[in-house]
A and B are shown apart, each in its own frame.
Chain A
Amino acid sequence: MNKVLNSREFKRIITRMAAEILEKNISCKDFAIIGVQKTGVYLAQRLIKEIKKQDDINIWSGSINISLYRDDYDQRVAKTIAPSQIDFDINGKTIVLVDDVLYTGRTIRGALDAIFDLGRPERVQLAVLIDREQRELPFSADYVGKVIPVSKREEIDVHWKEDGEEDAVYIKKITK
């Protein structure tokens, strides 16, 4: 296991991403940040906290569960995770969708479908901590913490304080 980001770098990245999101959306009146369950929600909550530290802006906060929108339902048994929680009207909002790792783009496809089932947002932007490339669908992120191109035989492993670990990002060989 090879550590590619330590907790200090992790913190810097979140501060910088928060500033970028704020800069682009500062004049936006109806603004929401939605994390993808489950680790995307950790990042979303950290970004919201950091943005509010930097400026007094109203942000709607939510989370989205994509298990009913995944495209590998027939191929894979997935874990049950926390439900979507969006306690505001999606219609007309600017939404920053947040996930920890952007890889094939399939999760984002599911997340967009899930969001559009709830309403019609004004626009959707994408923020990810790690872009590991190797996309299978035409998506790119608006805010990227760090690009780490790894092969399909490797895995990006993000550790979170919220799970009782030290914030860090590792590259792992897939052993099968």
Chain B
Amino acid sequence: MGLISKNLIDLKSTPKSDINLIIDTAFTQKEILSRSVKKVPILKGKSVCTMFIENSTRTKNSFETACKILGADVIGFSKTGSSINKGESYKDTLLTLEAMGVDLFIIRHFASGSSDFAAKTVKSKIVNAGDGMHAHPTQALLDMMTLIEHRGSIEGMTVLILGDVYHSRVARSNIWGLNKLGAKVRICAPMTLLPAEINSFPCEVYTDLREAVKGVDAINILRIQLERMNAGYFSSIYEYNRFYGIDTDIFKSVPKDTLILHPGPINRGVEISSAIADGPNSVIVNQVTNGLAIRMAILYLMLQGENR
């Protein structure tokens, strides 16, 4: 009836029933977001720490807003201004905050595996809000919720994940999650932006965008991390845009009702043109709202029945 998993680290290790429960619960809690007073008291007295060792705008604010809507107390922690800058270790920081009575940690960290490490270090519950190149389960869950919202079910859909798969924890989490819910997953990227272990992922691999978009139901466009553009993964932004950017030209080969998703922040004119980002196929804004609902559902489900 409740979640099987104690923590939410990645979707590879999360059972299908938990994924479905989180998405179903998010749909029921989304109603609160349409109210004039967006506040319910269910997490009154629960203490949640958003521990962001790596920068973030939308994920951190989304989680903190979700906490506040459900009535939890939030400890906002970021690297700057903390004792991490005095050399306090990640482990000691976790233990210190746990001793202050934190029931649940939401962790964003530049190192892959940091959420798993936290789960082994403290008794509090852990939600991974992005760890290195490993996983970003809440982003994948909100992407899947958005697909279900528009198509009713993920079973049988063909979803293309396009762009910098190599650096993308969003891509990795989506591949596992979509697969568990019965979608066919394609990925498309230049060879240099495909992970070496790509053959161990349950997906079809394309390097030609025109081939990859044939018959798709949705395209999830990853952000080109501009901070990496000088590292030699592709020769220029212009070239990337020509071969892998989604614009009105390539859209002529895409099925008419294809949904366009993007985890944000978007680089207009690089991986996606403005005409597509703001066009009728785009569900990018819905993703943000659904992200709030997904995070509310996760907090609600993970903290319930603690004193059974």
- The reply to whether chain A is a binding partner of chain B is yes
Task: Please name all residues of chain B whose beta carbon is closer than 8 Å to the beta carbon of A174 when the two chains form the complex.
Answer: none
- B111 interface residue per 8 A CB criterion: no
- B249 interface residue per 8 A CB criterion: no
Number of interface residues of A (CB under 8 A): 21
CB distance from B51 to the nearest CB of A (A): 24
Knowing A75-B305, A75-B307, A77-B304, the reply to whether A83 touches B30 (Cβ < 8 A) is yes
Task: Please name all residues of chain A whose beta carbon is closer than 8 Å to the beta carbon of B306 when the two chains form the complex.
Answer: 74
Task: Please name all residues of chain A whose beta carbon is closer than 8 Å to the beta carbon of B29 when the two chains form the complex.
Answer: 68, 83
- Interface size classification for chain B: 20 to 34
CB-contact partner of A83 in B21, B27, B39, B70, under 8 A: B27
Knowing A65-B28, A79-B1, the reply to whether A117 touches B42 (Cβ < 8 A) is no
Q: Which A83-122 residues sit within 8 Å CB-CB of chain B?
A: 83-85, 113, 117-118
- A80 interface residue per 8 A CB criterion: yes
**Docked pose: A75 CA to B2 CA in angstroms:** 13
- B32 interface residue per 8 A CB criterion: yes
Interface on chain A toward B: helix, strand, loop, or mixed SS? loop
Task: Please name all residues of chain B whose beta carbon is closer than 8 Å to the beta carbon of A83 when the two chains form the complex.
Answer: 27-31
- B204 interface residue per 8 A CB criterion: no
- B41 interface residue per 8 A CB criterion: yes
- Measured CB to CB, the nearest residue on chain A to B296 is A68
Knowing A69-B41, A117-B39, A117-B40, the reply to whether A74 touches B28 (Cβ < 8 A) is no
Q: Which B12-33 residues sit within 8 Å CB-CB of chain A?
A: 21, 24-25, 27-32
- B308 interface residue per 8 A CB criterion: yes
- Measured CB to CB, the nearest residue on chain B to A113 is B41
Q: Which interface residue of B27, B28, B41, B303 has the most chain A CB atoms within 10 A?
A: B28
- Measured CB to CB, the nearest residue on chain B to A119 is B36
Knowing A68-B40, A74-B307, the reply to whether A82 touches B2 (Cβ < 8 A) is no
- Measured CB to CB, the nearest residue on chain B to A85 is B31
**Docked pose: A69 CA to B42 CA in angstroms:** 6
Knowing A80-B21, A117-B35, the reply to whether A73 touches B28 (Cβ < 8 A) is no
CB distance from A163 to the nearest CB of B (A): 18
Task: Please name all residues of chain B whose beta carbon is closer than 8 Å to the beta carbon of A79 when the two chains form the complex.
Answer: 1
The answer on a CB contact under 8 Å between A77 and B305 is yes
**Docked pose: A122 CA to B70 CA in angstroms:** 27
**Docked pose: A121 CA to B308 CA in angstroms:** 36
CB distance from A135 to the nearest CB of B (A): 23
**Docked pose: A29 CA to B27 CA in angstroms:** 33
- B105 interface residue per 8 A CB criterion: no
- A1 interface residue per 8 A CB criterion: no
- B300 interface residue per 8 A CB criterion: yes
- B99 interface residue per 8 A CB criterion: no
22 A-B pairs within 8 Å (CB atoms) are namely A67-B28, A68-B41, A68-B70, A68-B300, A69-B40, A73-B303, A73-B305, A74-B304, A75-B305, A75-B308, A76-B305, A76-B308, A77-B1, A77-B305, A77-B308, A79-B1, A80-B24, A80-B28, A83-B27, A85-B31, A113-B41, A117-B40
